[in-house]
């Protein structure tokens, strides 16, 4: 009798093990988890934040993806590597059909309602090491990887050739082909930020904008468009704006760059926010360049992403978690809020 019980227990445990390690590209989104510890961070490292067209907030972290529904934070634990392990989410976008796309350390994942689909190199993806993902107005998904750029049209992946740059030796992760950021502006022009420079793409024409506008570095991190249609470009050598085809370095001689300018944001008051060397936060109102000090009484993360939600709340996420700026004070946001 005892041996029979042991045998049954062994079979059950073996079944659970095999089920948890089975390969599933199609899977259901998990249910909300109840976080009883009020001081439990969303993650020690929050790489990015995104709000979709329905108002849902998504957080990309080193512990995978989370979404906020009401006051419930849901962990999307079906975003997995091909070997079944968790991933670090690096970028999030929404397609014109409402699907959420996430680029991460082991491919890309598509979330539609209660289903997650994971895509890998074995599906045609250029590289599993994804750094940026953007959905254009035509429904294509543009994917920037450590090995270059590709497009997904819903059926297949196609490589999009960009010139090769150089490895940035000051960063832990870099390559000559890395694409840091992809952006589509209000005119439908696509912009690619790489270690070979800033490129624009429209009407089947690729232009090396760094050369044309005389940007003094090919290490380009991010590009945004402000409410006046002016482009702002973060680079290794400073923050540029692009006005009438001329690039202007507004930080030249005013700040020390170190690892360069990172995330950029224009808020609802038309003020530009940006990060320099990951540790220094600045605002620029067109005239004044002001540093926002960091102190023991007003802590914030090492900032990877600055974001403004639809309620005009400013978020700062990075190494150290997720924070909001409220009345001049950085408020840490835990798994149970405050939302």
Give the model confidence (pLDDT) of 46-69 as tens digits: 999 999 999 999 999 999 999 999
Over residues 270-274, mean pLDDT: 98
pLDDT band at 5 (very low <50, low <70, confident <90, very high): very low
Q: Where are the domains of the chain?
A: 46-333
- Gap between the Cα atoms of 168 and 236, Å rounded: 10
What Cα–Cα distance (Å) separates residue 250 from each residue in 187, 209, 238, 287, 292?
A: 24, 18, 7, 10, 17
The tokens describing 134, both together, are 């953007």
Contact between 194 and 210 under an 8 Å Cβ cutoff? The reply is: no
Query: Worst-scoring range by mean pLDDT, 123-127, 168-172, 179-183, 249-253?
Result: 168-172
Report the pLDDT value the prediction gives residue 21, as an integer from 0 to 100. Answer: 41
pLDDT band at 247 (very low <50, low <70, confident <90, very high): very high
Mean pLDDT over 34-54 rounds to 87
Say which residue, 9 or 271, is predicted with more confidence: 271
Taking the domain 46-333, which CATH number applies? 2.130.10.10
What are the start-end ranges of the H helices in the chain? 2-20, 209-213
**Distance (Å, whole) CA 204 – CA 265:** 29
- Rounded to an integer, the average pLDDT of 190-202 is 98
Name, in order, each residue with C-beta under 8 angstroms of 5's C-beta and a sequence gap of 6 or more: none
95-120: burial string, b at 16+ Cβ within 10 Å, e else: beeebbbbbbbbbbbbbeeeebbbbe
Query: 82 pairs with which residues across the strands?
Result: none
Omega prior to 338 cis, within 30 of 0: yes
pLDDT value at 211 more than 60 = yes
Give residue 78's pLDDT band: very low, low, confident or very high (50, 70, 90): very high
**pTM above the 0.85 mark?**
yes
Share of the chain above pLDDT 90, in %: 83
């Amino acid at each position: 009798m005892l041996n029979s019980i042991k045998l049954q227990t062994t079979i059950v445990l073996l079944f659970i093990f095999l089920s948890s390690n089975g390969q599933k590209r199609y899977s259901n989104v998990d249910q909300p988890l109840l976080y009883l510890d009020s001081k439990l961070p969303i993650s020690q490292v929050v790489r990015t934040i995104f709000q979709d067209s329905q108002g849902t907030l998504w957080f990309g972290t080193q512990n995978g993806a989370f979404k906020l529904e009401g006051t419930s934070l849901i962990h999307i634990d079906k975003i997995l590597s091909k070997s079944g392990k968790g991933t670090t989410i690096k970028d999030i976008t929404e397609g014109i059909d409402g699907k959420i796309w996430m680029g991460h350390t082991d491919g890309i994942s598509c979330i539609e309602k209660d289903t997650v689909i994971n895509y890998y190199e074995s599906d045609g993806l250029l590289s599993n090491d994804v750094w940026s993902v953007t959905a254009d107005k035509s429904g294509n998904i543009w994917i920037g990887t450590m090995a270059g750029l590709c497009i997904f049209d819903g059926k297949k992946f196609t490589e999009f050739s960009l010139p090769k740059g150089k490895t940035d030796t000051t960063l832990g992760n870099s390559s000559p082909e890395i694409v840091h950021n992809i952006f589509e502006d209000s005119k439908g022009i696509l912009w690619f930020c790489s270690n070979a420079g800033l490129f624009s793409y429209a009407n089947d024409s690729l232009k090396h904008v760094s050369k044309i506008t005389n940007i003094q570095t090919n290490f380009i991190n991010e590009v945004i468009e402000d409410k006046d249609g002016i482009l702002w470009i973060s680079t290794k050598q400073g923050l540029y704006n692009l006005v009438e085809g001329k690039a202007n370095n507004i930080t030249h001689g005013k700040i020390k760059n170190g690892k360069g300018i990172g995330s950029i944001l224009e808020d609802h008051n038309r003020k530009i926010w940006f990060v320099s060397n990951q540790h220094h936060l600045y605002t620029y109102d067109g005239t004044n360049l002001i540093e926002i000090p960091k102190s023991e009484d007003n802590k914030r993360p090492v900032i990877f992403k600055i974001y403004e939600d639809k309620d005009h709340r400013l978020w700062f996420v990075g190494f150290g978690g997720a924070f909001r700026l409220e009345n001049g004070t950085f408020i840490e946001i835990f798994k149970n809020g405050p939302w």
